Structure 1
Amino acid sequence: MKFLKPHFWYNKSQRNGVFLLALLILIFQGIIFFADFSSQEKVDFNSPQILAFHSKIDSLKLVELENRKPKIFPFNPNYITDYKGEQLGMSLKEIDRLLAFRKTNKFVNSKEDFQQVTKISDSLLNKIAPYFKFPDWVVQRNRNQQKGFNTNASKTKKYGESSYNNKPKHIITSTDINKATQEDFKTIYGVGEKLSERIIKYRSKLQGFSLDKQLFEVWGLKKEVAEKVLEIFKIVEKPIIVKENVNTLTFKQLLKNPYIDYELCKKIFDYRDQVAELQDIKELTNIKGFPLDKYDRIVLYLVAE
């Protein structure tokens, strides 16, 4: 008892404080227990305001879902890949039919041709056909046929044979890619006026194609089109390129190399200053950050002497 007595020994003011605190606790407990805090106002979830709010949310959700859908840009249906076909909603069998047809070196020239080859449904055709983009001369030919022109030619043409045979024929002057003319390149499907001009200009910049893979560097030339070009045009005679001594070239002269930009040119000069003189052109690969994948093309124009 002596141990417990100090814990309950309070003076008068302390006892009053304890009683007041206990009283307040009882009052608040009573208020919480007996008072009704529930709202008498009921929310009508079918009210016009609530329904309009939900309608607005649903419309925003639909807009967001529409924005998340992959956008379709105009494309040539002759070059649909597995991935592209799947995005468009085509089945694997439909894609395989198109790929098998294209392996025969034939082309589809209209949405009707496309459906006949792939066997896609009318609904899917109507969905993706507006995005089909055929070469201008094919579009013009189809318009003429719709107007009644070239009806005799269309009667004699069998389906599946390259309708591109209507394209004006040009006798190729040379199959050497370094001697072929702009008109020669235009005989390849997919190579028009601009691309053939770019091929000629890039060939001049390189002083001639020394490697097949250089053709793939032409800006805007798709890989599959470049491969078709190389099926006809080969490097028969390699260009004669006078190699320049990397040890004596000025900064501006070295920068004229079609595969050397400002940063690489600076690195080569810094390395040349360090070693005083390159003994072998292979020393370029010792430079930190040197593009090894371009080495075989860079050294077409350089030598270390």
Structure 2
Amino acid sequence: MDYKATIKSYFNFTKSQRLGLVLLLTLIVVFQIAFYFIDFSQPEKNASEKQQWLALQSEIDSLKQNVPTSSYKIYPFNPNFITDFKGYKLGMTVEQIDRLLAFRKQGKFANSPKEFQQVTGISDSLLNAISPYFKFPDWVNKKNSGAKSNWVDYSKTNYYKKEKVVILDINSATKEDLMKVYGIGDGLSERILKQKEVFGEFVSMEQMSDVWGLSPEVIEKLNQSFKIINNPKIKKVNINNASIKELGQFPYFRYPISKNIVTYRSMNGDIKIEDLTKIKDFPVDKIKIIALYLEF
């Protein structure tokens, strides 16, 4: 085969084909020149409107710079009763707040800025910044100043009597009884009573941690005033006979757990209290409380 003749045949053009190629090349060159020398950009129609927006933007930016930054305003307070939130806003670390709370749990009080620093371990700069707002009781101020003329320590007198704390049964507590606890208002007292209605009655004070909105500090105060005194009057759930629907009505169970209980029961026979931990997804962290509501 003559390869040269074959290749040469590809470059043999007729007169009209040669004319078309010349015309195509001419057009390409003309368009390239036009592309580099002619400005095809469209004139901006809304130039004046854009200038107005730019002027407004610069004014907005200047207003943003003049907006005062919000600051946490401090009012006089007793440093012995600082909450987690207030301590955080004052600039205290979590460890420093925890030291104060642990100190207070022992029934002790810091009676001067220096004692407060020794307990919490805050820096001198932070102490200087917040100590002007410390407000100690009058008797503490008089004691610290050495004044003895008007201050009397009534705790050492014969007629001084410490108020006795009356402990009530949480299941018989009224809304008014609950609101006597510092930190519990109208809303929290309603939640506690509604939670009791859900279970029939409480079986443990540990159930207070399930009430939304109760902080550990308030729960501690609740435990000082309320206990489970009388045997709770509750309708127990028979875990070996109840259906999935009946188990699902128990507040600590939901459909998946109820289904797992019935499945385990069908495969292993009657469930005993020690079998609860073997059930898939069973809330073992509350097993002591749940068991008191169950009948085996």
The alignment's TM-score, normalised by the length of structure 2, stands at: 0.53
In the alignment, does 2:56 pair up with 1:55? yes
Out of 207, 214, 223, the position equivalent to 1:221 is 214
Please give the secondary structure, in 1, of the residue aligned with 2:27.
helix
C-alpha contact 1:94 1:119 (8 A) present in aligned 2: no
User: Alpha-carbon deviation of 1:190?
Assistant: 0.7
Alpha-carbon distance in 1 for matches of 2:60, 2:142: 46
- Counterpart amino acid of residue 91 in structure 1: G
**SS in structure 2 opposite 1:220?**
coil
**Equivalent of 1:20 in 20, 23, 42:** 23
CA 1:198–1:23: 2 relative to 1, 3 Å: closer
Paired position in structure 1 for 2:288 = 296
Cα distance, 1:179 vs structure 2: 7.4
Matches within 5 A, 1:81-120: 81=85, 85=88, 88=89, 90-92=90-92, 96=96, 100=100, 103-104=103-104, 119-120=129-130
Residue number in structure 1 paired with 2:116? none
Instruction: Compute the RMSD of aligned alpha carbons.
Output: 5.6
Distance 2:272 2:258 in 1: 17
Give the Cα separation in 1 of the matches to 2:195 and 2:239. 23
State how far apart, in whole Å, the 2-side matches of 1:94 and 1:303 are: 44
- CA 1:57–1:29 in structure 2 vs 1: closer, same or farther (change >3 Å)? same
User: Corresponding residue for 1:37?
Assistant: 39
1:31: how far off?
A: 3.6
Counterpart Cα distance in 1 of 2:275 and 2:137: 66
Is residue 80 of structure 1 aligned with residue 80 of structure 2?
A: no
Structure 2 residue ranges without an equivalent (≥5): 111-125, 144-161
Q: CA deviation at 1:184?
A: 5.7
- Give the secondary-structure state (helix, strand or coil) at the position aligned to 1:17: helix
Which deviations, in whole Å up to 9, do the C-alpha atoms of 1:228-277 show, x marking residues without a partner?
A: 333x24758573678664334577875665533455445434544x2484
Q: Contact 2:244–2:255 (CA<8 Å) still a contact in 1? A: no
Does the C-alpha gap of structure 1 residues 201 and 239 become closer, same or farther in structure 2, counting only changes over 3 Å? Answer: farther
In the alignment, structure 1 segments of 5+ residues that lack a partner are 108-115, 126-153, 162-168
State how many pairs are aligned: 240
- 1:72-221 equivalence runs, <5 A: 78-81=82-85, 85=88, 88=89, 90-92=90-92, 96=96, 100=100, 103-104=103-104, 119-120=129-130, 156=138, 158=140, 171-174=164-167, 185-196=178-189, 198-199=191-192, 202=195, 205=199, 207-210=201-204, 212-221=205-214
Name the CA distance, whole Å, in 2 between partners of 1:97 and 1:280: 45
Aligned 8 A contact 1:178 1:208 in 2 = yes
Counterpart of 2:20, as a letter, is G
Secondary structure of 1:299 counterpart: helix
Give the partner amino acid of 2:39: F
Residue in 2 aligned with 1:140? Answer: none
Residue 28 of structure 1 deviates from its aligned partner by 3.2
* Conserved? CA contact 1:208–1:239, under 8 Å: no
Give the direction of change, closer, same or farther, for the CA distance of 1:18–1:190 in structure 2 (3 Å limit): same
